Amino acid sequence: MTLVRIDALGSGGDGIAMLDGQQVFVPFTAPGDEVDVTLQKVARDDGGRGRGASRGRKPDAAAAKAGGVARVKVGKLHVAGPDRVAPACRHFGSCGGCAVQHLSDDFMADWKRQQVQAALGRRGVDGIAVAETFRGGPARRRRAGLTAQSDNRGAVRLGFHARGSRELVDLQECPVLEPELARLIAPLRQVLAGKLAAKESARIAINLTDTGADIQIEGAFDPGPDMLMDLAAFADDFDLARLTLTGGSMGQVPIATRRPPTLEWPGLHVVAPPGTFLQADKVVEAEMQRRIAIAATGAKRVIDLFSGIGTLTAALPQTAEVLALDSAADAIRALRVGADKGRRTWLKTAVRNLMHDPLIESELAGHDLVILDPPAAGARAQAETLARSDVPRIVYVSCAPGTFARDARMLIDGGYRLTSVTPLDQFFWSPEIELLAVFDRP
């Protein structure tokens, strides 16, 4: 063991220290910590981001040049840094769901802002005043992807995988989740016991909609009558909005729909498809919508790219002519039906893979505003055509500062001005960073 001092935090939430002349990443440490470590391995990695972190960030330059990232085994903590706090969860340190519960809220909010600034700086986008982080909080995450795994005797472990491992952490609590979802973990484990074959796994997507919890269980199993009845009783006992099985020879099996799992916004009442993507934090979602509504003031014709089920569409003026596009056909169908129910007569929808078939300049012409919320890979192809367009304003929502900065560089080179950038901490206790940016064409 060697005593090292943590100098900074890497882009994935690991502490950074120097050991034998090389930079090493030390998990679950804080700046100012003095801790014993043992060099464990040097592996090709992603710059200290850790399991489940955002793609698109630039790895540590020294590590990348060396062909790998030095990682260590952590020993005794001798001195705690000023920003270290007690973790809120008993599973922290083993569960891969959270990476930074040991850091103060103030530190994390400022660190996330700095990460956005650094990503822009690496693309030569300087002089941008990144706003203070809009903060998240515990017990607010309303979507989760869990794994259930059976042992040889039929007992089930249910939770998240351990950091960098296939080992499953059997959750007894999860303080990051909405309480209505966290309370389902133990009964889900119980109802699945004996239902899965030995060593069989199932993926469980849990969403909290405005009308209740929506659960999708996905696996290769074919459910028998006992499993179907037990799951239906579980849905009834815990007042689920809907429970769906997916996979096996039966395809998608609706076990119980006690009421439609609906997302309700002014003029939009969308019944979410099973396992659909939701913004992780409803408070942060509302802040996104508030900022988009301000940016869309006076807009008559708007395009919503990567619209999903219409979370950001909902923020647009109900008098505006809106075109919503996404590659997910089920999400677009749900948005179309939801718009019809809400009488949003000027909303048009279409299924389109914008990664391979972006809108071209002639399709963008004549629109007042484009909003886009691409996946972590960003929207390189679409950003290239937007940079050549005459759209006066663009609102870009991103979950990956690295790819956002790449696309921002293209827009700026095309004549746009980046007028505001706000980090949004909807991935609380995670190094993941959401942001919302506004570009104007002078």
Count of other CB atoms within 10 angstroms of residue 412: 18
SS3 55: coil
Q: Which two tokens stand for residue 316?
A: 């647009």
Q: Which of 46, 74, 105, 140 is nearest to 400 (CA)?
A: 46
Q: Taking the mean position of all CA atoms in its chain, how far away is CA 337?
A: 26
Element (H, E) at 146: strand 143-150
As a whole number of angstroms, the distance between CA 304 and CA 281 comes to: 20
* Cβ 329 vs Cβ 264: under 8 Å: no
Tell me the one-letter amino acid at 210.
Answer: D
Q: How far apart are CA 112 and CA 118, in angstroms?
A: 10
Q: Under 8 Å CB-to-CB from 80, ≥6 apart: which residues?
A: 30, 32, 33
For 360, half-sphere exposure in the C-beta direction (CA atoms, 13 angstrom radius) is 2
Asked if 399 is an active-site residue, the reply is yes
CB 176 within 8 A of CB 236: no
Of 142, 143, 231, 163, nearest to 194 by C-alpha is: 231
d(CA 179, CA 214): 14
| Nearest Cα residue to 3 out of 108, 65, 78 | 78
Q: Which of 160, 270, 275, 293 is nearest to 207 (CA)?
A: 275
| C-alpha–C-alpha distance, residues 405 and 409, integer Å | 6
Inter-residue contact 312 to 371 (CB < 8 Å): yes
Q: Which of 89, 95, 174, 399 is catalytic?
A: 399
Task: Locate 346 and state its tokens.
Answer: 């000027």
Q: Which residues contact 113 (CB under 8 A, 6 or more apart)?
A: 130, 131, 132, 133, 423
Tokens 């950091």, residue located: 163
Where in the sequence numbering do the catalytic residues fall?
Answer: 399
